[in-house]
Amino acid sequence: MPNPQEPPQLLQKVDDSVRRRVRTMVRTARFASLACLEQDTGSPLVSRIGLATDVTGAPIFLTSALTAHTGAIAADPRCSILVGEPGKGDPLAHARVSIIGKAERIPEGAERMKARFRYLSRHPKAELYADFGDFSFWRVRPERASFNGGFGKAYQMQADDLVLPQSPVSDGLAAAQADIVGHMNDDHAEAVGLYATALCGAAAGAWRLSGIDLEGLDLSQGDESQRLWFTEPIANLDGVRPLLVALARKAREVRAG
């Protein structure tokens, strides 16, 4: 019999289905709310940012030095981002995740180019200003997260629930991603469209591959995003091409019925 003196257990167990749900939310989000501490006063400050992810799944964003939140995270990197879009009805009934971590400016050079590619693949219009001198790319290194999947569905998550560990394979994929994504969009647009429609259930349209990582593909069409998960994570770069070919074959089989 429960002890009335003990508080009820409100947190649910984090399992693979919860991890995938949260990772999908973050991978497909186009924007987030960034919370940080105002530089001069230490007061809470919340801003909206455009969002993408790096190959490991860590959130990345582009911001100008002229904004208050850039000065805030430069002075104190502690921050959190809130991801989740309300739908019809009660907005509190819809899933959202608050990721707590530290922001870091992505340095110039190869790392910036990788982040730039990921971000502009998700937000192509940002190419108009991404290279202005006052703009920089930032990454949030997650430390933990609070996921609310709806009423009565609360979870506390750790960093490894949210992002993949960095590895030689993920580093190699990050270096090769521009070539892979460009090749698929330029030479295999029909297959990319089938990934979205036949395998993700999306409506037909001008779908483009906007990202690849060890666990899946990100697909975009205007403001719409889809996530296609691999059955197994990529173990080596030699497996990327056969995997994409196999997914295209499977998509054509699904379409043919």
Instruction: Summarize pLDDT for 3-17 with one digit per residue, the tens.
Output: 545 445 688 899 999
Q: What is the pLDDT of residue 6?
A: 46
Residue 198 has pLDDT above 80, yes or no: yes
Task: With cut-offs at 50, 70 and 90, classify the pLDDT of residue 152.
Answer: confident
Q: What is the pLDDT of residue 9?
A: 67
Q: Where in the chain is the domain with CATH 3.20.180.10?
A: 165-257
Please report, as a single letter, which amino acid is at residue 53. Answer: T
Mean pLDDT of 133-137: 96
Can you point out the beta strands (E) in the chain?
31-37, 44-50, 52-53, 59-64, 78-83, 96-105, 135-148, 154-158, 208-212, 216-221, 224-229
Q: How far apart are CA 186 and CA 120, in angstroms?
A: 16
Mean pLDDT of 56-69: 97
Token reading at 228: 């296609």
Share above pLDDT 90 across residues of the chain, in percent, rounded to a whole number = 88
Residue 83 has pLDDT above 50, yes or no: yes
pLDDT in tens, 217-251: 999 999 999 999 999 999 999 999 999 999 999 99
Mean pLDDT of 64-92: 93
The hierarchical CATH code for the domain 11-163 is 2.30.110.10
Query: 165-257 architecture in CATH?
Result: Alpha-Beta Barrel (3.20)
Residue 154 has pLDDT above 90, yes or no: yes
Q: What is the pLDDT of residue 151?
A: 80
Q: Where in the chain is the domain with CATH 2.30.110.10?
A: 11-163
Token match 């009423």: residue? Answer: 151
Q: What is the pLDDT of residue 5?
A: 53
Can you point out the beta strands (E) in 149-235?
154-158, 208-212, 216-221, 224-229
Q: How high is the mean pLDDT of the chain?
A: 94
Residue 257 has pLDDT above 90, yes or no: no
